[in-house]
Chains A and B, each alone.
Chain A
Amino acid sequence: MNTQIDSSYRPDALVVGGGIAGLQSALDLADQGLKVLVVERGASIGGHMIALSKVFPTLDCASCITTPKMSAAAHHENIQILTNAEVEAIESRDGLHRVRILRKPTYVNFDKCIGCRLCEYACDTEYRDRFEEGLGAVRAIAVPFTNAIPQKAVLDAEHCLTCGSCARVCPTDAIEFDQKPRTLAIETEAVIVASGFDLNSVTVKPQYNAARSQNVIAPMTLERLLAPHGPYGRVLRPSDGKIPGAIAFVQCAGSRDESIGVPYCSRVCCMYAIKQAMLLAGALPLADITIYYMDIRAFGKGYEQFFQNAKAMGINFVRGKVARIDPIEGGDLRLHVETTEDAENPLEERTHDLVVLAQGMIPGWNPAQTTPVACASDGFVATPRLTAPTATTAPGIFTAGTAAGPKDIVDTIAEAGAAAIAASQYLFQKRETAVAG
């Protein structure tokens, strides 16, 4: 890792995004001896995956799979990583990509910061920790999370009161209140867009009333609740800290729904709901767990067997669309469900004390405005070539993972490798032609 990068630095390839796709692509390029720059907009690499509790279908802890890849990238002699940085524009001419990168102020000089966290301990201002999905608090200056890379403090200007406590305790004088956004321009020959996904809001369907009840939660919130090192170290519902006893998963709450502009399947929700249901069944043996679904899409290797195991564990699978969720007294929720399996009660009302909405995956970045990369009608990066699934519309620019549509981790990692070989053969051929010509 190196933070001292200037425009004289000329990597062979640039990877947009430091999530699992970007890291795998970077590693697969770097292992071939190519120099790679990874640009990550967040304060740490690791993407969504590092925040997960466990992953399907092996139930490996997510940290155990992600941290070695993060660490391998951070220590690789051919990889440089810029966090808190965003690709603003790419201009491609004569086989060269000129990339403008915005380096956002962290108000901490990374070359001086030793990650001792004294500033964090000295800071008096706390706000909701986004890494913990708002369930815990984080100081206005802090190392992002336990296994973050880099282990450097970042100051949140929105919440900082500029009291100066941090600067007073910092042993290396690393706090710089006067940092300004900087722009870095570099040139590179190949780019991999691994900008990942976002999730549409839990409030996207107003009839589910997530805005009115804290107990209608996002799946990432449940991931944090289930993580062994999560905010509470146990599963408690947000409104009152009660141990939930009847949990509902509402599938396709942000996908396969033309009314909200996401007609496609988000591809991972069935499996993570099953996984979360299994983990909940382990953590709360007495809880009643129901998954309301349209189709269970357990298509990957070992996924169907995982689904059958969940059924055998006693997780209830109810085929039916949830029409409405009403908050009722005591923080509980009444679900209005249309089921197709019970002729006597096709329209049912069921009460749960915690509801998880399967949000839809939407693009994490729109490169179409500022780069030569075009997006398809679904908003994700277009990959029009039949025999090259990672090639974008722009020569020398490739894509991997959820930047090109919803995908699970297994498929993302495979695609990241495919993008890396595509980029490296592009570079190889360019250079071979240059030598020959």
Chain B
Amino acid sequence: MSMENQHREDPHCENEQAETAQIEAQLAAARRAAMAPHASAQGAGEDAHLKIGVYICRCGGNISDVVNVEQVAETVQLLPNVTTAKVHTFVCSDPGQQTISEDILQENLDRVVVASCSPFLHEQTFRGAVARGGLNPYLYEHVNIREQASWAHRHDPSGATAKAIRMIAAAVGKLRHAAPLEQIKLPNHRRALVIGGGIAGMKAAADLAARGIPVLLVEKTEKLGGRLNDRGRVYPSERDASELVEELARTVQANPRIEIRLSSQVKAVSGFIGNFKVEVAPEGGAAEQRTVGAILLATGFRPYQPREGEFLYRGGSSASAGPAVLTLPEFIQLLRATPENARHLLVNGRAVRNVAFLHCVGSRQLDGVHEPQPDGRLNTYCSRTCCTTILQQALAVRRRFPKTGVYNFYQDIRTYGRGEENYYTEASKAGVVFFRYNGEEPPAVALSAPESARDGAISITVKDTLTWNEELTLPVDLLVLGTGMIPGAIADLIEQMKLATGEDGFLQEVHPKLRPVEVAVNGVLLAGAAQGPMNIQETLAAAGAAAVKVAAMFAKENVELNPFVAEVDPELCCGEAHCVTQCAYEGALRMVAKEVDGKQVERAEVNAGLCTGCGACVAVCPHRAMQLNGWRLDQFDAMVDGIAAGVPNQACGEELVRIG
């Protein structure tokens, strides 16, 4: 498809027209900036014959509704070395990428700039397009004129436009000093470590082993199965959880490619993708050292444990002494332990005539309504599985003990999954009574006054929004708190592996759709509820999604890493080791003995696998001996020139102040 050049009329542009004069002035300044001879123009690596192509994205209208992209193209075309400047509606689309590849071939471009969204989204996309055109993918610069210009300055179109021009000028400057780079290839240790032996961990391990990949499966308890052990029947299949756990456990135990370490924990993790060094220690035993290429975190969740006194809760085991308040998992155990032929559901030796289920305990918490958790956090999220679990249990009570009344206090019934809505309709048909409360006004729970105790030990008062906010008080014998999920207790792993957690405290993926099972650390993947509440089917799917990424990673002989790592100039290094002192990544930088002119000296050396390219070493080296590939110091100089060479000086009016 050919590049479009018409500027679409848009309501947002009306403001722009009103500000035409101002824009013109700013653009004029920006144009002069773009054309100003740069201080670095005579610098090393400069080549007057370089051809640079600049592609500016409208992003539908996300950019072009604010930034005048045609004016940007027109202006940056004037920058030295820029031979092509084009605008496209979606540069990331196939035709957009095709244009880049074709231009490289047909117009002999040497370097490419794309000004679009965050590099987080599409830097890789465009490196690919550049490579398909036959150019080294690192002769490419990504400029973010969406998040950093159009979105940040949506009420200042002219400012956003001028900023976009300067940012592109910086990228063009940087590219003039760019050198082709090659990805770092490192050996790929074809073995995965799976942390956690619940269903997510077992499923991921089984999937990988069945695909031919050796797995080390580490479980901290003495048993596989995690939270599904002793869970009873699971929805929507209504088969016993033990069937599922046992089937998976048999699979992993029978596969010779899986080594299982029970009652063991991962004590230390170092290294990088393809080459992690891990220490796994059994309880009280000596640690074994292993090398693995990938790590899957299947560390799961913890059930929410109510605070002492929260809705009269006194802890499951002490309930015999106080009011009958149980958490959902405790209730499931109670019901399972009740003989099939029992005529009553018994609590504290007394028959339960009516039971209340209170939804969203420890979930969907609101600021100012709920007390924060000990760590100061509110559990603002929905735990996803409690609604259906409660209805499953409520239905079981009604079916087994038809004389027992079941009351359900909820905000929204979230039986979203396949086969789940059925529990809601069946529970309604079976006579479960529903009361709906507003999240800002959760039901109040109190001990009944002694005279009314025969009706039930606990009274629940609710403003019922199903009956026009009528305030109702119900006496019950047993209150079940619909407790949800909270993040697993894995602070040590988070610390060791430098993992990110979200506001909800669960492990954070890079992007929910683009990289949903990956974390910021390459080679580390999320499997299951460690990432957030999930039901069984979703957990199994998430484990598979993590496993497939590992399978793809191991399909390659080598791990390929970005080449943005530090490099030592042995001519300039004086062996003062400032860099080694400052380096935050163990093993990334060290001093090695070398012979220079017949003398034994020490020089810095970089381990490319461990270097993260943070640049701390570059900043502290007094001799400019450290450089970051892809971000060399002369490139920074050129970028600063590009941005600032022509900043209009307020005091001098139209005069230009040159920096550098």
Contact = CB atoms under 8 A, between A and B. Distances in A.
B572 interface: no
A60 B513 contact: yes
Interface of A: 28, 31-33, 55, 57-58, 60-61, 63-65, 67-68, 70-72, 74-75, 115-117, 143, 146-147, 149-151, 227-229, 233-234, 256, 263-265, 267, 295-305, 308, 319, 340-343, 346, 378, 380, 386-390, 404-406, 409-411, 413-422, 424-425, 428-429, 432
B210 A68 contact: no
A414 B203 CA distance: 14
A147 B95 contact: yes
A256 B96 CA distance: 42
B244 A67 contact: no
A275 to B, nearest CB: 14
Q: Closest 8 CB pairs between A and B?
A: A418-B544, A417-B545, A228-B61, A343-B468, A147-B93, A31-B552, A228-B60, A295-B412
Contact of B89 (A229, A256, A299, A308): A229
Interface string B526-551: 00000111000110111111111101
Contact of A340 (B122, B239, B465, B503): B465
A58 B380 CA distance: 17
B542 to A, nearest CB: 5
B243 to A, nearest CB: 7
Given A31-B555, A61-B62, A380-B418, A151 B244 contact: no
B468 A340 contact: yes
Nearest to A115: B1
A171 B588 CA distance: 58
B636 interface: no
18 contacts: A58-B513, A60-B121, A71-B93, A75-B97, A116-B1, A147-B96, A228-B59, A295-B413, A299-B416, A300-B532, A304-B381, A341-B465, A387-B244, A390-B544, A411-B538, A417-B517, A417-B545, A432-B212
A386 to B, nearest CB: 5
Contacts of B469: 341, 343
B117 interface: yes
Given A75-B132, A297-B414, 18 more contacts: A61-B60, A63-B93, A65-B121, A68-B514, A71-B97, A71-B125, A146-B93, A263-B422, A264-B419, A302-B502, A304-B380, A341-B465, A387-B540, A414-B516, A414-B538, A414-B544, A417-B541, A421-B544
A146 B59 CA distance: 12
Interface of B: 1-2, 8-11, 59-62, 65, 89-90, 92-98, 117, 121-122, 125, 128, 132, 203, 207, 210-212, 237, 239, 243-244, 247-248, 251, 364, 366, 380-382, 384, 412-422, 425, 436, 465-470, 502-504, 506, 511-514, 516-517, 531-533, 537-538, 540-549, 551-552, 555
B548 A267 contact: no
Nearest to A74: B94
Contacts of B128: 72, 75
A308 B366 contact: yes
Given A267-B416, A410-B512, A389 B537 contact: yes
Contacts of A234: 10-11
Contact of A417 (B506, B532, B548): B548
B211 A414 contact: no
Contact of A67 (B90, B540, B551): B90
B93 A32 contact: no
Given A61-B60, A117-B1, A147-B90, A297 B545 contact: no
A428 B210 contact: yes
A240 B366 CA distance: 42
A146 B90 contact: yes
